[in-house]
Structure 1
């Protein structure tokens, strides 16, 4: 089994951007159009409800009854968001895997709609269901043991046990997420859905994998915040001042007119690029490390 460089993998998203500017540009344009459609759809479906939710969230000690009332009628938006997210990430993550693992297959800017994308969607569903199921099981275990500790030794013991077990549960979920991180690359590379294969392939490599993922996440946050500041400054310069800068970080989706302010238009135009850059930085390390572990010459991807 080959080894890999965690530092090299953490920076792989930046190299992909540098070496595939045309592809990144196409993805950004497509993502901008998709984001625009989604934003308009969200405003049309539940603009007033979203505004009410924001107002309730700003109030200290919000009223649960008012919150549930504001959520009435939002289920079409929730369903739409789930379907959209699954579809868009299945296509983009498959395109990313294709870019890293089959760099010569560049037709259509590496984007397709086919069996590979379908398998990626299934993997996304399965991995998230596994993590969610484990999360629910851990919540129940922590609650039961914490309650038992409180019954035996009083509230301090129950709180202490609950805190320790809660931290342990979060650590276990982190381990699970890292160990399953190759599932998408495996499905694309082998044409088979093999969740267990990711667990086996990452055995003994948790810490370097975690290091690569954490560094890439930190870099993505830095890029995200930097671009947000740039968007806010441009939006403010076009009109609106400080309020326009605030809108770049917290867009008003209560109505079309409130959303498409000068700052909102700038934010919308940059949204695709922002999303694609973050996606590449965060998700490129997994297929890159997978390729290295499989003995592929990853440098070919960046040539």
Structure 2
């Protein structure tokens, strides 16, 4: 069985950034503009309501009815947000696949609005539906097993079985996520939606794939936190002092004035770069590994 370098794959996002600085700059600028527009619309439409909902959700003792009441009338906003996320991620994931699998196709900074993007959207929807179905199925099984255990051996046995089935559920979700991780790259490469093919290509490679993805996630988290600290420091330097540093971590959505403080403006200006760097670090490994397994020399992509 042909193998790959998990270490090289986990660093593939950094290589893409290094070799495609202009492309990353364009993506970051476009993402910043999109994020700015969405933030303004969201705050104008439901800023205070969102703030209330998040505050209630963060309190464990909050009455669920109060949270649901705060969400009243926000269905359209959630649908628009979901549609926006689907479009953005479909375009960007197609762009990442294009960077790795078709590096010569550089027109438009590797971004398009076409059949490839539509297929990526379909893959995102299908994979998430599979994961969602598996999650709800596992939850039902977990509740049933916990109830049976409580009936046979008391509350302690019920809790123990509930914990064990919860761990099994987490393991199932992890296995599914890894085994389906080539769906996007395979679909982009072949020009047809192929979820099943990812399961076949990842067979026997779960642990090295998991290792590569976990390292990439840790690196993305480090970059994310580091950039947040830099954003907070710069924002504090422009006004508000140390107290303003909290704006980078917990933006105020109650109004445009509260959101676009000096620290908030700095955060907005850096938001696109932050999003693109994290996206490349997390999502570059699957197409890179796929390319290696399919016999492509991805090193050529990076010079």
Superposed counterparts of 1:101-250, under 5 Å? 101-250=101-250
How much has 1:243 moved relative to structure 2? 2.2
Superposed counterparts of 1:268-287, under 5 Å? 268-287=268-287
How much has 1:2 moved relative to structure 2? 3.0
Once structures 1 and 2 are overlaid, which stretch shifts more, 48-57 or 113-122? 48-57
| Aligned equivalent of 2:97 | 97
How much has 1:65 moved relative to structure 2? 2.5
What are structure 1's unaligned runs of at least 5 residues?
none
Superposed counterparts of 1:289-300, under 5 Å? 289-300=289-300
Secondary structure of the residue that 2:49 maps to in structure 1?
helix
How much has 1:64 moved relative to structure 2? 2.2
1:38-92 per-residue CA deviation (whole Å, 9 max, x = no partner) reads 1011112211101212332454511222212211121122111100000000000
What are structure 2's unaligned runs of at least 5 residues?
none
Once structures 1 and 2 are overlaid, which stretch shifts more, 1-10 or 122-131? 1-10
Native 8 Å contact 1:45 1:76 kept in 2: no
Q: 2: CA distance between counterparts of 1:221 and 1:183?
A: 24
Q: 2: CA distance between counterparts of 1:74 and 1:177?
A: 30
1:154-181 per-residue CA deviation (whole Å, 9 max, x = no partner) reads 1111111111111011101100000000
Once structures 1 and 2 are overlaid, which stretch shifts more, 175-184 or 148-157? 148-157
Distance 1:224 1:67, change over 3 A: same
The number of residue pairs the alignment matches comes to: 303
Query: What's the TM-score once normalised by structure 1's chain length?
Result: 0.98
Moved over 6 A (4+): none
Distance 1:175 1:243, change over 3 A: same
Q: 2: CA distance between counterparts of 1:67 and 1:32?
A: 30
Distance 1:59 1:196, change over 3 A: closer
| Aligned equivalent of 1:55 | 55
Q: 1: CA distance between counterparts of 2:120 and 2:67?
A: 35
